[in-house]
Amino acid sequence: MDCLVIKGGTPLKGEVRISGAKNAALPLMAATLLTKEECVLRNLPNLSDVRFMAQILESLGAEVQMNRGTLRVRAKKIEGYGDYDLIRKMRGSICILGPLMSRLNKAKVSMPGGCVIGARPIDLHLKGMRDLGATIRVEAGYVHAKAATLTGGETFLGGRCGPTVLGTANVMMAAALAKGTTVIHSAACEPEIADLAAFLNAMGAKISGAGSPTVTIHGVRRLRGADHRVIPDRIETATYALAGAVTGGGVTLRNCNPAHLSAVLDKMGEAGVRFDTGRTTLRVRPAKQLRSVDITTMPHAGFPTDVQAQMMVLMLKSPGISIITERIFESRFMHVNELARMGADISIEGPSAIVKGGHPLSGADVMASDLRASAALILAGMAAKGTTRVNRVYHIDRGYENIDGKLRALGADISREPGQ
C-alpha cells in the first residue's frame, strides 16, 4: 500500500481546480440504469469509487465508456443482481437498488461496504422500498427485493441521526417509474440530492422539492437518455480551503460552489480565517489571528460530518479550547489517536472531542483509518514541523482526485512512496 510523505511548514499558495463530487457521481451513475437510452455524465472525478461503480454497471449488463472525466452508459438490457466482490467494497454501491427495482421490479444486491466510521444500516432504504410495495428479505449477505408493480405512496426517511442521503436517492430513483405519486418526508437536503433530481428530471422524471425535507415524485412511464454535468465536490472544496488556512497560506479554489458550504465557511470565518467568495470561486487568505470555535456536525445544511476531521486540524492551530461534537457517526474520531502521535492534545468525552489548540505539531508516522481521516492527517502533516508519513492512503484515493499532485502544485512538499 502506498503512503504519503509530507515535509511540513510550507504555506500553500496558488490555485487549484475542484473535481466533480464523488457523493453526487455514484447515485448519478446508478440512475443511468433507469433507461435503455445513452446517458452522458461529465465532470466525473477520477477516483477508485467511480471506477468501481463503472465496473458494477458493466457487471449488470450496461455498456460503459469512460474518457477523461466523461462517462457514457447505455443500459439496453440489464440483470437484476450485482457483483458481490465489487459492491461490498463501498457503501455507495447500494444506490443500484432503487434503479433495479424501478426498471426490473426485482433486485439482488449484496450488503455494501465502505469506511469503518460507525453503524450505517440500510434499514431506511429497505423501508422506502417496502412503502412502494416491494417485498424484502435479507439472506446470506444479499438483499432480495421484488414487486409485482411499484406503486407510489408516502414514506418517512428520518433516522436516529437524521435523514438518509443514499436512502433518499434510492427511493427517488425507484419512484421515478412507479405508478402514481410518491412523497418522501424527512428527505435528505444535501446538494447531491438536488443534483440527482436535476439529472432525473432531464431524463423526463417529474420530481419537485429536492433539496428540501419533502420531495414529491410523480411516476412516469419511461425515461430517456440525458447529458449532465456533475456538481463540484463541496467536501474537497472545504478540505483545500482548510489546507490553506492551517498552513497560513493563500489559495484560490476554482470550479467550486461556495453556496454549498455555508456552515463550513461560517465556522471558518468565526475562527478568524479570511476569505472571498464568487459564484464558482473561493479565495482563502491567511488569518491574522486564529480563534477556537465549537462545532457540532448535523445533516445538511448544518456542519457536515465529512469536514469534521479537517476542521479539527484547524482547531489544533487555534489557541484555546474547542469542543467538536459528532452527531452523525459514532466512530468518527478514529483520527484522534493518530493526531495525538503528532503532539495533539485531544480528549474524548462521549460524542465530543475536547481540542486544546495552539500547541505545535511534529511530524510522525500515522495510519489513516478512513477517507476523511486521511485528509485530516495530510493537513496536519503540512502544518507540522518535520516529516509525516501517512500510511494506508488507499482511503484518500477513494474520495480525492490526485490529492498529492494538487497539493504539490500549491507548493506542498509531498510525495507518494510504496508503503512498508
Active site residues: 115
Rg (CA), the chain: 21
Burial class (CB in 10 A: 0-12, 13-18, 19+), 387: middle
- DSSP classification of residue 282: E
Contact 112, 122 (CB under 8 A): yes
Q: Could you tell me which residues come within 8 angstroms of residue 24 by beta carbon, excluding any fewer than 6 positions away?
A: 191, 192, 195, 196, 230, 231, 233
Residue 377 C-alpha cell reads as 492527517
Q: Rounded to an integer, what is the distance from CA 217 to the centroid of its chain? A: 24
Helix axes 22-31, 48-59, angle to 10 degrees: 10
CA atoms within 13 A on the CB side of 330: 7
Contact present, 216 and 239 (Cβ < 8 Å): no
Which DSSP string do the residues of 183-230 spell out, in sequence order? EEES----HHHHHHHHHHHHTT-EEE-BTBSEEEEE--S-----EEEP
- 377 closest CA partner among 364, 360, 359, 394: 364
For the chain, the maximum distance between any two Cα atoms, rounded to a whole number of angstroms, is 64
Length of the chain as a residue count: 420
CA distance 56 to 131: 26
| Distance (Å) of CA 262 to CA 271, 319, 339 | 14, 24, 27
